[in-house]
Every structure is written in C-alpha cells, then in structure tokens.
A = this chain, B = another copy of it.
Amino acid sequence: MAFVKSAVPVGELAAGQPLELPVYRLKGQGSGHPSVYIQANVHGAEVQGNAVIYQLMKLLEHYQVLGDITLVPLANPLGINQKSGEFTLGRFDPITGVNWNREYLDHDLDIEAWYAEHARLDDAALVMAFRSTLVESCQARLNNSWGVTTGHRQAVTLQAMAHNADIVLDLHTGPKSCKHLYCPEFDRAAAQYFSIPYTLLIPNSFGGAMDEAAFVPWWTLAEVAKATGRNLGVKVAAFTLELGSQERIDLADALEDAQGILAYLSHRGVIAEQVAPKSMKRHGCLLKHYRKFHSPKAGMVEYLAKVGEPLRAGKSLVNLLRMDRYGSGEVLSTVSLPEDCVPILHFASASVHQGTELYKVMTQVFEL
C-alpha cells in the first residue's frame, strides 16, 4: 500500500514562484466504501494538523484501507509562509484581509430545480450527478474570465477535491485553545468517535467555511428529497477539528488525534478493522450558545481561566493590568463573566486593545 503524491497548483506569487499543494492519495481496496478528504493548515499558524496527518499516514500503513483517502497537508502555502515578526500572519490574506477559511464557494444552486430535473435517478446515480454538478460549479468558478481572487482560487481548488469525498475533515487549531469539534447538528453522533472533549453543534447554513461548503448542499438536497417523500439522507459528513493551540507541533498529541480520526473512519467502514474511540467524557454546546467575550478595556492580560475547564459565573477570567494607572483603583482589575461556561480558547497575546476578543466560551454545555 502506498500513498501517491501529486502537486496541485493553486496560484503563482509575484516573483513567479508557483504555489502548489502536496496531495497524497491512497486508493481504497474495496468498493462502495466512503471516500475521505482531509486537509490541514488552511490558517497559516495552525500547523498541528500536519502532524496529525503525518501520524494518520503512518497508522494507515498498518490497516486495510477500503475507501479512497486524499490528504492535503500544508494547504495554504502563502499563509504558512507569511511571517510578521516572530509569528505567522496566516489567518487572512495579507492584501485583502479576507479570512482564508471564508473563501469557499457558495454554489448558489437552485437545488429544488436541480432535484426536479434529476429526481428520476436512483440514489447512487443521483449522488453521482449532484457531486458532478458541485465539482463542475467549482471548475466554472475557477475559469471565470474576469479572474478570481488569490484566496478564492486556492479555496475552490481545495473544495473541488473535497466534493469528491463522502467524509471531509478540516484540521484547524484555536489561538490558545483546548480541542473542540465543529459538528453539524444532524450528525451529532459522529462526535463520539474523535478524541475531542468539546463539540459545537452547528446549523445547516453556509458562512464560507470548508465544512459548511462540503455538507450544506447535501443537507439541502436531502431536505428537498424528503419534501417529496424520498429518504435520501445527507450523503456527506464534514467536520472541522480544532486540535489545540496554534504555533505548536506535538507529535505525541498528534498521534492521539490521528487515532480518534481512525476510530471515526473505522466506524464509517473506511478501514476494515475495528478501532474503538477513546473512552472519555464528551460535551456539547449549540453554536448560538458559544459566546465571544471582548475586552471591556485595554491592558496587559493575565489569563486566569484554563481552557477546557468549567468556570462558574463570577469567577476570575483574567487580570487586567494598567501600569499607566498605578495609584488608582484601576491599576489591577479582575474580570469575570455573568454565566457559567467552559472557556474554549483565548487570545494569543498578553496585551489587548479595548474590544479585542479575549475568550470564546461555551455556555449551556451538556453531556453528549
């Protein structure tokens, strides 16, 4: 069994260098098994997903792989290479400010009309036809005669590859973060397989991210079919895995996440062997209960609340130090939140302007 490597072009830099992605493909030995697409590092500083793909590739060499697998580490070369001082400025296009993970294509298809036209097809043929429609829509976008933006070219090239898969995993990290999963509400059972303690359940709407780009058209198709009495089901599963903090490579931790992914792939029949998920408590939160807290004032920040550990309302979140105010009551203040929560991530820097997003926290957390 061997991964076949290819180089997929996604752009060209000012001085002429091609931007290319390393893509590894493994042909499944079965037929009718789900195919898989996994990408990592679309945000330039979120490098740990590369280590997870590395560990997953090494693991897969010891399993019988039935479905096709496509792996795209280092999926945003321009973002990865964009340094600013000692850190990677890889969250948005440095020219336009557009978030690299909000560049995916909204096909803007009239799925009702499409379904009316293709309703006579059996499920397998319908799926194949819809997949082709999505991929062709991506290709048409890339061939727009007025051109496409740098970020859109890259994203839609990735998206065209992802549309060919039944399972799509997008590996990210937070800034300073505990592990958490973005999981569609309809697919919440899947959250039991990954080695991830906290899950955000997201609705079926497209905001520009890869996971949404992958599953929302299929969810819509399923709804349209259901309205005609046909139980097609949502044919594509897509998740964003947030694997801890950015600017961190930890191979041992990457192995644990690779094993969680393997457990999910085993559950889905992508590999022949049974791989049990890690035994752990898993909790969930609805996206609408996921809250951002913006700093009420500026200052130096001592982050007190640990990510991944429940925090009671009124308990200390941060200390804010204002050394321009020594001698007043404002030199040191402690900030807390009005609700019980689990802090999931916090800002990466220890100084903030007023309004900087300090923490994201889950509220109304429940056991999954």
Contact = CB atoms under 8 A, between A and B. Distances in A.
Interface of A: 2-3, 5, 11-17, 19-20, 22, 24, 41, 44-45, 47, 50-51, 53-54, 57, 73-74, 77-78, 80-99, 145-153, 175, 246-251, 291-303, 319, 321-327, 331-332, 338, 347-358
Given A151-B355, A326-B24, A355-B149, A249 B300 contact: yes
B300 A350 contact: no
Given A84-B85, A85-B87, A323-B54, A355 B299 contact: no
B80 A351 contact: yes
A320 to B, nearest CB: 9
A353 B80 contact: no
- This protein's copies in its complex: 4
Contact of A349 (B19, B87, B92, B350): B87
A326 B3 contact: yes
A84 B86 contact: no
Contact of A22 (B85, B321, B323, B349): B323
Contacts of A327: 2-3, 5
A249 B98 CA distance: 27
Contacts of A332: 54
Given A249-B319, A351-B88, A355-B149, A298 B95 contact: no
24 contacts: A12-B298, A12-B353, A13-B81, A15-B77, A16-B298, A16-B323, A24-B326, A44-B351, A50-B300, A80-B351, A85-B87, A88-B349, A95-B356, A147-B293, A147-B295, A148-B294, A148-B355, A149-B355, A149-B357, A152-B355, A153-B354, A246-B350, A250-B302, A251-B321
Contacts of A94: 83-85
CB-based closest 8 A-B pairs = A147-B294, A92-B97, A150-B355, A97-B97, A73-B323, A12-B298, A16-B324, A12-B354
Contacts of A87: 84-87, 348-349
A331 to B, nearest CB: 7
Given A5-B326, A47-B300, A323-B73, A14 B353 contact: yes
Given A3-B326, A96-B357, 18 more contacts: A12-B354, A13-B81, A15-B298, A16-B298, A22-B323, A50-B321, A85-B90, A85-B92, A88-B349, A92-B92, A97-B99, A146-B293, A147-B355, A147-B358, A149-B355, A150-B356, A246-B350, A249-B350
